[in-house]
A and B are shown apart, each in its own frame.
Chain A
Amino acid sequence: MTLADNANLHTFVDAVRFIGDNPSLLATKALEQLELSAAALGLALLIALPVGILLGHLHRGSSLAIGTSIVGRALPSLVLIAAFLTILGIGFVNNMVALSVLASGPILTNAFEGVAGVDRDVVESARGMGMTGLQILRRVELPLAIPLLFTGIRVAAVTVVATAPIAAIAGGGGLGDIIVNQASYRLSGVIGASICVMLLSAAVYLVLVGLQIVVTPRGLRSTSLGNDLARKELT
């Protein structure tokens, strides 16, 4: 028992040593992973956010929004990455597209629900005050939808950063390169890189939670965030 414990401890000590010995390698790989993640998230935002907001504003296509989230969950990331690899070839573009499909689900669903879920009475009174559809969207619906909208973006971002290591198998680079290459980096390197992946996604998560607090309108802050963090992404 104690022997096994020692062996575990040694592995982690070696992993920490690996991190200490290779700061520039790990930083380069982490940056690669962030670049891929940012590109994928950007692509997903560009497509899914306007679609979600527009459908929510028009109160149309709720089945599309729900369907996207269900299909998104059922599509394994490995399958997505492998399938896009056969179409787009190995490298950055394939992984960016595969990860952006993964990110589109939560962004689209939450944008739709956020905008469509704004109290009808509030929208009606805005219309009664003479606001046009676009004004209602910009001044009423979007500010009220920000908590949910941002939850979608945060869930998508964390999912992408956390999934990006898998992309290493399809030439995606990043810390996953070390994780899938035990032959070169040994177990200590694999564990060290895994620890870095954990820290990286935790950092992204915390930065986005902070950002969410900052962008949420003051009046909505206390009610939304606590519930949101604990429940929204799991139920």
Chain B
Amino acid sequence: MSGPVIPNFGHGSSCVTGNHTFCWGWVRDHWNDTLEPALIQHLELTAIAVGLGFVLAFVLALLAHRLRAVDQPIGVFAALLYPLPRLALFQLLIPFTGLTTTTVEVALVAYTLVILFPNIMAGLRSAPADVLEAASGMGLTRRQVLWRVELPLAVPAIIGGLRIAVVSTISIATIAAFLLPKGLGYPIFVALKEPTPFKTEIYAAGALAVGLAIACDLGLVALRRLLVPWSRA
């Protein structure tokens, strides 16, 4: 028997080797090689998922707006897909797309899609009947009504959906670390694998994930103020 296993959190200060609550020195030393790359990867994962999910949801919503028949089925599908366990869904995609970013993105896009679709639909349906009647009375065609009346009125609901989608995606993307060495989940994953979980790395990566979510949320609130300054929520 040799002595107890002393976790090796790199060279460094007594703070790091002693696994104290939070070591600013470690954050400074590993910002460039660990935290910043993870943050950027996390942003990329989120941006691609929300971007693709938004385009798909928008097209589907326009389609469902025209053809009322497909609205209900897509809505039910969305409600059933959303509560699926994230980790299990990631794993079930592996036989098809392997341990790749594609696997992660397919799952993330699916989740943003099911959040955004109902919200865009709710927005498109929110135009009051008399407003629509007034618009067609003024001689607007159906397409003009959509682009000049219904869509502008749907902006608050669409941004509301984007807020939920962005914040949820940032949260779910941490689970991508179970498959890939990518995103802010990965430093946490690595820290948990140490014989004694390394606190500073967990707190720093966790704070970055929560901070990123809050920053994006505030950004979308600001966007809403800019686009539809008359509506408040």
Contact = CB atoms under 8 A, between A and B. Distances in A.
Given A79-B188, A179-B88, A86 B197 contact: yes
B86 interface: yes
Interface centre among B114, B119, B188, B209 (most CB of A within 10 A): B188
B161 to A, nearest CB: 7
A234 B82 contact: yes
Interface stretch (A22-30, A108-116, A161-169): A161-169
Given A74-B171, A165-B87, A187 B189 contact: no
A218 interface: no
A205 B172 CA distance: 20
Interface string A68-103: 001001111111001101100000000000000000
Contact of B174 (A70, A76, A85, A86): A76
Interface of A: 7-8, 11-12, 70, 73-79, 82-83, 85-86, 155, 158-159, 161-163, 165-166, 169-170, 176, 179-180, 187, 190-191, 193-195, 197-198, 201, 205, 229-231, 233-235
Given A83-B202, A86-B199, A70 B217 contact: yes
B160 A235 contact: yes
Contacts of B63: none
Interface string B83-126: 11111110110111000000000000000001100110010000
Main secondary structure of the interface of A (DSSP, over half): helix
B82 to A, nearest CB: 6
B95 A11 contact: yes
B82 A180 contact: no
A173 to B, nearest CB: 15
20 contacts: A74-B214, A76-B175, A76-B185, A76-B210, A77-B175, A78-B189, A82-B206, A85-B192, A86-B202, A159-B83, A163-B85, A163-B86, A165-B87, A166-B86, A166-B178, A190-B91, A194-B92, A197-B85, A230-B76, A234-B78
Interface residues of B, number: 50
Contacts of A201: 83-85
Contact of B119 (A77, A85, A162, A235): A235
B213 interface: yes
A170 B178 CA distance: 13
B210 A79 contact: yes
